[in-house]
Amino acid sequence: MPKRSYRILRSLVPNFMRNILKPVIQKFKLSREIKSEIERTKKFAFGLNKKNDIHNLFARLTFHSHALEKGLSNPNFRKGFGQRALMSLREAMTEYRNADFPLDEERFLSAIIVLQEYCKAHEYLPEYTSDIENFLKKFEITPPNLLVGAVEYQKETILENSKAMFSNLALNRISVRDYSPTEVDDTLIFDSIRIAMKSPSVCNRQSWRVHLIKDRDLLERTLTLQGGFDGNGTNLNKLLLVTVDLRYFSNFYERNQGYIDGGIFLMSLVYALTYNEVATCILNAMFNRKRDQEIRDLIGLEESEVMIGFIALGHYPDVFKAPASLRDSVDKCLKIH
Ligand SMILES: Cc1cc2nc3c(=O)[nH]c(=O)nc-3n(C[C@H](O)[C@H](O)[C@H](O)COP(=O)(O)O)c2cc1C
């Protein structure tokens, strides 16, 4: 319908009718918007499509390499760990090569290196590494020297950088998954939240909320449901959950605004904690409806809240390992117009 006729028609509807119709129309629009999001996800998500493009495969290569880096950095190294990740990584690498994608891409080379690191960490014991070594032979690639695998860090260096320029803080922040026995004082957390609350948000609506979980039983049950911290969390005794409250957003076109504002806040909070010498690891809070409801019930979230992310925190151990988590170069991310 042309805009003008729509406006005329609208002016003929009495006010009380408009107020009744408005929420119905808004709900209809919401369903329509969500449908298009579903279609987009269906089209692009690597798990929903048989044929993966190079970006789908980059995602899979990094996803499975990262699982192996975590195992290589784990203080409780378990021989033969990560069988599922190994299999999935090899599948992704094979698909990548069969599709004739460039073998000099860093994400692909990183996958090769992480498999080499896996063999090295297992001292080339045939029962753990012969399959991998045979697999690697098929590629005949000698990768360049990239920082991939488990990297050792010194607490002193991290603390020095935390107090220096922002670029030092940002470029030296890492996800730390196991902590020293010293408990993090609540005041450091409160001060970090204060700093993070200076984050920008849409029309300064500040929809964010932070849940501080200290109760041992609640913390353990939450982590079990979260499911992404298995094998880590030594001396973890405080966990944060950042949420946003949907009541602060107006319309169907703001359906994702909470995730944007919440994400900005979450990152500010991680930087603020890093500045306050607290070690952190963001933990995923995107779940299916059933798991989402279980966590909501457990923590007692408002129905209007949506979860943005957990932050596991503690103090840095004196010396520890963490995944290198190599980043792409700027030209992979930047498009100049
Ligand atoms: C939204 C989000 C969810 C994450 N979830 C988990 C998780 O469930 N378990 C985990 O060990 N790390 C998790 N991480 C940490 C990432 O693995 C880590 O940030 C990434 O590999 C980059 O490494 P870095 O933080 O050390 O630079 C998550 C990070 C983000 C941003």
Rounded distance from Cα 10 to ligand 1 centre (Å) = 49
CA 35–ligand 1 middle distance (angstroms) = 29
Confidence of residue 1 (pLDDT cuts 50, 70, 90): low
Q: How far is the CA of 282 from the centre of ligand 1 (A)?
A: 5
Question: What's the pLDDT at 251?
Answer: 79
For atom 23 of ligand 1, the residue with the nearest CA is 325
Find the range with the poorest average confidence among 34-38, 192-196, 269-273, 290-294: 34-38
User: Is the model more confident about 196 or about 246?
Assistant: 196
Mutate to test the pocket of ligand 1, among 61, 64, 175, 274 (most ligand atoms within 8 A of CB): 175
Structure tokens at 67: 């699982």
Give the atom of ligand 1 at the shortest distance from the alpha carbon of 309: 1
What is the per-residue pLDDT across 114-156, written as a single tens digit (0 to 9) for each?
Answer: 999 999 999 999 999 999 999 999 998 999 999 999 999 999 9
Per-residue model confidence as pLDDT tens digits over 16-59: 888 999 999 999 988 988 888 888 888 888 999 899 999 999 98
Residue 92 — very low, low, confident or very high, per pLDDT cuts 50/70/90? very high
What is the tens place of the pLDDT at every residue in 189-228? 999 999 999 999 999 999 999 999 999 999 999 999 999 9
pLDDT at 328: 96
Three-state SS string over 38-105 comes to HHHHHHHCHHHCCCCCHHHHHHHHHHHHHHHHHHHHCCCCCCCCCHHHHHHHHHHHHHHHHCCCCCCC
At residue 191, the 3 state secondary structure works out as helix
Identify the CATH number of the domain defined by range 151-321.
Answer: 3.40.109.10
* pLDDT band per the 50, 70, 90 thresholds, residue 73: very high
Span from the CA of 303 to the centroid of ligand 1 (angstroms): 26
Which mutation among 64, 171, 282 tests ligand 1's pocket best, with the greatest number of atoms within 8 A of CB? 282
Please tell me the distance between residue 228's alpha carbon and the centre of ligand 1 in angstroms: 9
Residue with the smallest CA separation from ligand 1 atom 11 is 229
Cβ(208)–Cβ(242) below 8 Å: yes
Q: Whose CA is nearest to atom 15 of ligand 1?
A: 282
Residue of the CA atom closest to atom 9 of ligand 1 = 228
* CB-CB contact of 258 with 230 (8 Å): no
Please, which pLDDT band fits residue 89 given cuts at 50, 70 and 90?
very high
Spacing, Cα 248 to ligand 1 middle (Å): 27
Share of the chain above pLDDT 70, in %: 99
Arithmetic mean of pLDDT over the chain: 94
Summarize pLDDT for 298-318 with one digit per residue, the tens. Answer: 999 999 999 999 999 999 999
Residues sharing a CB contact under 8 Å with residue 13, sequence separation 6 or more, in sequence order: 21
C-alpha 94 to ligand 1 mean position (Å)? 26
Rounded to the nearest angstrom, the distance between the alpha carbon of 300 and the centre of ligand 1 is: 25
Query: How do beta strands 208-213 and 238-245 pair?
Result: antiparallel
pLDDT at 272 over 90: yes
Distance CA 325, CA 59 (A): 13
Q: Pocket around ligand 1: residues whose beta carbon is below 6 Å from it?
A: 66, 174-175, 177, 228-229, 281-284, 309, 322, 325
Amino acid at 196: A
Q: Is 27 exposed, middle or buried (0-12, 13-18, 19+ CB in 10 A)?
A: exposed
> What are the boundaries of each domain within the chain?
3-44, 54-148, 151-321
**Backbone angles phi and psi of 137, in degrees to 5:** -60, -30
Give the residue carrying structure tokens 């319309």. 251
CB 208 within 8 A of CB 165: no
Identify the residue whose C-alpha is closest to ligand 1 atom 21: 325
